[in-house]
A and B are shown apart, each in its own frame.
Chain A
Amino acid sequence: MRIGTQLGIPISKIVGGNSAEALAWKTWVEGNGGTISQALLDIFDINFFIPAKANGNILTELDRFNVYGGLVGFEIAARTNLIKNAHYVTPVSSPTFDNSGYRSSGTSYLNLNFIPSSQGVKFLRNNNIAGFVTKNPAFSNNYRGLGALDTNTGNARYEVSRDVSRLTGWNNSFAQRFNTNTVTSGYVFCANKRTAASGTGCEDLLINGNSSLTNNASSGDIGITHFELCININGSPTGSFDIVNHACSWHGSSNLDYTAFRTIVSNLLTALGV
């Protein structure tokens, strides 16, 4: 039994035990050598696992979803995927970890341990969405958000980055696409979505709910892991690191109910005090 908002009481505690999904995630966190407090597990359950499962889409259309913000003292939980027991995130050279999530020092980053060509189940070459959330971000410089460039596989590239006055997305190494409707306050969702190999509107650069549909052909499948707070170029990070905190990030299918996902994630981040 859960105490509901219909009683006018803020939801903060689960009575009768956590959902199977929340308990599975706790097991994965512990398997990685970490812990998660009961209070935080309840917050994740009430604000993510339960509504995501009720939606019927969110949990089945993602390969990975990590929440980095609001987990000070529980860093291993922040590095543990909420969707399945895989793609445990590796912090490389000490990125800053605080209540707002992870940010680069200018040389540090995250290895997502996610290789699209061999490990993407929902995130596929011509059907995908990936992104991250920052709070009050600037669009004043080139800050590479996440992705990879694999020149050994037909110049395959996938990237989502904040740039000067725009969000930039790459689906091949030849042409970038933009969304210039930047937002610099609140939680800002930055995402790149692809629904087909080519054709009108096959690529979409998303800033929150604002969509920028373009025609941009895809290229080869990426055979190296995606990095976050920078991109991976044939095994090495770029020079343009993201020095603004990422509160969370995800990879999944273009079939993800992005609107519902955004609402659920925003509520979760609010509940976590990010």
Chain B
Amino acid sequence: MKVLKATLKQKNALEGFYEEGYELKFIEDANGNWVVNDKVVNNGHFLSIREQLQALPLIDYVPKEVEL
């Protein structure tokens, strides 16, 4: 599974609420990268930031194991 990777600066700039209350939020993967679902690029709710999202590199998702 592929995800979009952002720097901390990009993450902070892009995170927030968009059309119809949709939220964009990055999560940390097992390697400490800030990543988000690559489907956000084609989601019309995030149209206003599509160009910035398209510029983010795609990487393989490595889930962070959480022992609870």
Binding site for B on A (CB under 8 A): 32-33, 75-76, 79, 88, 90-94, 96, 105-108, 111, 149, 173, 233, 236-240
Q: Is the beta-carbon distance between B27 and A236 smaller than 8 angstroms?
A: yes
Query: Residue B21 at the A interface, CB < 8 A?
Result: yes
Chain A, residue nearest B41 (CB): A94
Q: Is the beta-carbon distance between A111 and B37 smaller than 8 angstroms?
A: no
Q: Considering the chains assembled together, what is the distance between the CA atoms of A186 and B45 in angstroms?
A: 32
Q: Is the beta-carbon distance between B23 and A92 smaller than 8 angstroms?
A: yes
Q: Is the beta-carbon distance between A96 and B39 smaller than 8 angstroms?
A: yes
Q: Is the beta-carbon distance between B1 and A106 smaller than 8 angstroms?
A: yes
Q: Is the beta-carbon distance between A90 and B64 smaller than 8 angstroms?
A: no
Q: Considering the chains assembled together, what is the distance between the CA atoms of A180 and B23 in angstroms?
A: 36
Q: Considering the chains assembled together, what is the distance between the CA atoms of A92 and B21 in angstroms?
A: 9
Known: A107-B61, A233-B66, A239-B65. A91 touches B37 (CB 8 A): no
Q: Is the beta-carbon distance between A108 and B37 smaller than 8 angstroms?
A: yes
Q: For the complex, count residues of B whose C-beta is within 8 A of A.
A: 25
Q: Considering the chains assembled together, what is the distance between the CA atoms of A149 and B66 in angstroms?
A: 12
Q: Is the beta-carbon distance between A90 and B39 smaller than 8 angstroms?
A: no
Q: Is the beta-carbon distance between B24 and A93 smaller than 8 angstroms?
A: yes
Q: Is the beta-carbon distance between A107 and B21 smaller than 8 angstroms?
A: no
Chain A, residue nearest B1 (CB): A106
Known: A94-B22, A239-B63. A149 touches B37 (CB 8 A): no
Which residues between 2 and 45 of chain B lie within 8 Å of chain A, taking CB atoms? 3, 17, 20-27, 35-37, 39-40, 43, 45
Tell me, rounded to whole Å, the shortest Cβ–Cβ distance linking A74 to chain B: 12
Known: A106-B1, A107-B61, A236-B27. A94 touches B66 (CB 8 A): no
Q: Considering the chains assembled together, what is the distance between the CA atoms of A32 and B22 in angstroms?
A: 12
Q: Is the beta-carbon distance between B65 and A93 smaller than 8 angstroms?
A: no
**5 intermolecular pairs with C-beta atoms under 8 Å apart:** A107-B37, A173-B68, A233-B66, A237-B27, A238-B68
